[in-house]
Amino acid sequence: MDYQNDLLEENLPEIGKKKEAPKSHEKNRSSMVMVGWFFSVIAFYIFLNAEVDSNQFLDFGSLFMANFGIAVIYFLITVVGKFKNGSINPAEYSLSLVLFSISAFTLNKSLPVFGNFPNWEIAYIILIHIPLFTLAFREELPKWLVNFSYFTLGMGMLLWCYMSVYLFLFMFYGLLICWFFGISLHAWVPALFLANGINHLFKKTIQPIQKRMFLAGVLIPVFIGIVFFINWGMEKHKMESIIESAEKEGTELPLWVNVSREISNNWVTKQFLLSENLISDADSFLDRPFNRNRNGLGDVMTDDPLVKIGLMLFGNIEGLDTEEKQSLLVTQQNLKHEANRRLWSGNNLQTNEVMTRVNLYPDFRMAYTEKEIIIENTSQNTWRPQEAIYTFHLPTGSTISSLSLWIDGREEKAILTTKGKADKAYETIVGVERRDPALVHWLEGNKVVITVFPCNPKAKRRFKIGVTSPLVVKDDKLVLQNIYFEGPSTQDTSGEEEITIVSGNKKLEVEGEKFWKEGEGKYKHKGNYRNYWELEIPISKPSEKAFVFDGEKYSVSPIEVSQQAFNPEVVFLDINNSWTEFEINQVYTAIKDRKVFILDKQPELLTEDNFHELVKKAQAYNYSLFPIHKIAAPEKALVITKTKSNSPELKDLKDSEFSNSLASFCAKNTTPVKFLNIGKELNPYLKTLEELNAIKVKNSNVFGFMNPEKMLTFSEEIIEGNAVELKGTGLKITKSEANGELGNAPDHLMRLYAYNKIMKEVGKHYFKSEEYENGPLIDLAVKANVVSPISSLIALETKKDYERFDIERSKDSLGNAADAGSGAVPEPHEWALIIFAMLIVGLLWIKKYNARMT
């Protein structure tokens, strides 16, 4: 009986007693495993935060040394130290690989063997690190997690294999120079991951389900890759067919524009266009620094392994050179800001603060907006200056009328000069001498670009721009939209807006989101920076006051308008893929009793027989560039359009047959072509044509065609030769002889008059605008101090800098505009006039005093 009880005790599990953990579990819970986990989390956290907010950490070079040091110390203790007695803990070895992987990716920031990773690859890399954290603990983890780990292990084999092949030569070079702290041995990291994956696959403990998951992890990405390559092969063939057809049949447009209009805008195409390998044709990372363009595209372009393999299989796009492929990328992905000229990096710059001051002149239907911006360089490298680039989007008809740069704590006001002189001065000082300038250039599509240099980590940089704008009439209200910008990050930017009614009825109520009233005619908002806001103010009667300067006066008055139903002989549909079937049918039904054309290479009359064919062909275009020069009788034509926000700009078409024909048309045509826009915006091409007075745009929507007579009513403005239209306001600015009159209207009247006059004249010969840099138009720009296609504002460090580049401050100029309440310091010539007036007053007083004494 006692024997049987003993036997039961040996064979039955003990009830209520805890089972002893296997020795492998104890090894996995060793103190160095916990340390490895801790180090991995810390290193990964530092690396991720350094990419998002590098001002909290050391520069990437120092960051690499920190992560490399952690990896080496952990490896020496856990692997090398235990190698002799053969007691290496698999969990510790896996964590050692993780630390070296983080160190390698950190090194790649300083020495970019691989370029910017696309988003999908970043997610992929994170996933394939999972097995290193889990498989050493597989006996303690749920089966589903272990199976998923084998799936990600299979996924990892593909990427580690790709990286190992890519780094094959560097692995052996690395052995030769490994004496230099062993840094070059990072080239072996992908190969070690590959070996680790193979080792897991051939372990005796692996189960059949885990082998199948591993195989699935290999095959699924392979299948996705095959689909990707097939799609790219088809897109590449389509592009080359477009190029071949254009070369055979002839085309007015550059070849890349034909491709850009018809290329599919899908994920595959986007990945290829954003790849530096497609654009630069660089064969290895050694070529990368020498293939960088002088712009910011390198910051958004990627080094995509799928693209590299696709290019190996199918080759690059034949028929387009590097510059044309870059233009294709910029237009297709709307990267015009990134494509601006860049002489220095701006990766560590942030917009720290934006202060906006708005002076409203409702009785003149105009406003003056000042934006004072503080830039911060968050890099810890005090010797590395950076360049800030801002693209400002202006309301239609607006112009830059002032620019200031703070140099050594003092405000340096810019001088207006020709675009060519300003450009030469900026390139020389920034590219060679590395000293202080700020520059603003006019851009197409109601934009300007401002560049500021240098932005050092030692101190924040401050600049200020002033914008003179019309107040647009909308539903019996005057509307002003915020002047927003693209540039250094505004994620943590503070903002402040002050609105002041300067003239007219100051009791008018301003309506705007989150503005509070601070007194009569004063409104304010303070908080986080807002990129978009708008305000409304009740419309008021135009003032009869005038501004007088140099014997001439400028005044506003209502435009004489005749509202006449326009009876176009021909109507053109400017169709692209932004049009819906409903819009096409609604518009065509309303106007089909007229002659309706679609104009591509040649005008084609729409009939019941060809309607669907021609419309389908037009709808395939990503955007349209309506050729107004092909309209036989522009005064009798109407173009109905709808566009997206992206298209090439006029400068992109320069020297093409299209631009030459367009230039000839604009030089001869005296009547702007009428456009009816049923969309919410205009593309850059049409925006610029409108700004140059080549087209006249009326905005509406598709439902307006329910009343075709009203829809086709265009206002005919009567504007004399000495007047210009203040667009969107219903007013005109007239210049006349002052005849000794004095005026107290704002000087912005003269500024907007000059800007509109310049744009009207330049529009006739836009592609030869550099010819206007010597003549009456540049004199007019200097006199009014306005930025235009022929004039720029530049602020330099010293007077000698201005003299060296033949830039001088005109004595017969309005100078920089100023905030009405800023108490701005007068310009030098203004000081001279003030002192002269004081001397006269003083002499008269002395004369009067002496007369009394005698």
Question: How many separate helices (H) and strands (E) can be counted in the chain?
Answer: 27, 30
688 lies in some domain: yes
CATH number, domain of 403, equals 2.60.40
| The token pair that represents 64 in the structure block | 């690499």
738 lies in some domain: no
638 and 505 within one domain = no
620 lies in some domain: yes
| Whole-number pLDDT of residue 834 | 55
Count of residues for the chain? 854
519 and 397 within one domain = yes
| The token pair that represents 118 in the structure block | 């696309």
How many angstroms separate the CA atoms of 183 and 72, rounded?
10
510 and 478 within one domain = yes
419 lies in some domain: yes
240 lies in some domain: yes
581 lies in some domain: yes
Pick from 482, 469, 473, 481: nearest CA to 541: 473
Residue type at position 709:
E
Q: What is the DSSP string of 841-852?
A: HHHHHHHHHHHH
Q: Which of 667, 699, 718 is the last residue of a domain?
A: 718
| Whole-number pLDDT of residue 12 | 42
691 and 783 within one domain = no
pTM: 0.85
Within the chain, which residues score under 50 in pLDDT? 1-21, 24, 52-58, 283-292, 822-831
356 and 288 within one domain = no
Q: Which of 718, 739, 763 is the last residue of a domain?
A: 718
| Whole-number pLDDT of residue 844 | 60
Are the beta carbons of 812 and 781 closer than 8 angstroms?
no
- Spatial strand order of the sheet with 437-443 comes to 415-418, 791-796, 437-443, 447-455, 386-393, 484-486
According to DSSP, the residues that pair with 603 across neighbouring strands are 599
Pick from 638, 626, 631: nearest CA to 569: 638
247 and 137 within one domain = no
Radius of gyration of the chain (CA): 34
| Whole-number pLDDT of residue 323 | 87
| Whole-number pLDDT of residue 83 | 62
Cα 659 to Cα 147, 457, 532, 648, 705, distances in angstroms: 62, 45, 34, 12, 33
Q: Write out the residue range of the structural domain in which residue 47 sits.
A: 23-206
| Whole-number pLDDT of residue 4 | 45
CA dihedral (57, 62, 63, 69) positive or negative: negative
536 and 502 within one domain = yes
417 and 302 within one domain = no
Task: Quote the distance between the C-alpha of residue 49 and its chain's center.
Answer: 23
172 and 74 within one domain = yes
Q: What is the DSSP string of 282-346?
A: --STTTGGGS--SBSGGGT-B--HHHHHHHHHH-SPTT--HHHHHHHHHHHTT-TTTTSB-SS--
Q: Which of 312, 332, 352 is the last residue of a domain?
A: 332
678 and 587 within one domain = yes
CA dihedral (658, 660, 661, 667) positive or negative: positive
828 and 815 within one domain = no
465 and 442 within one domain = yes
Residue type at position 249:
E
671 lies in some domain: yes
| Whole-number pLDDT of residue 293 | 53
217 lies in some domain: no
Q: What is the DSSP string of 681-741?
A: ---HHHHHHHHTTSEEEEE--GGGGGSHHHHTEEEEEE--TTEEEETTTTEEEEEEE-TT-
CATH number, domain of 710, equals 3.40.50
| Whole-number pLDDT of residue 382 | 63
| Whole-number pLDDT of residue 29 | 53
Pick from 431, 363, 442, 430: nearest CA to 403: 442
User: How many independent structural domains does the chain possess?
Assistant: 5
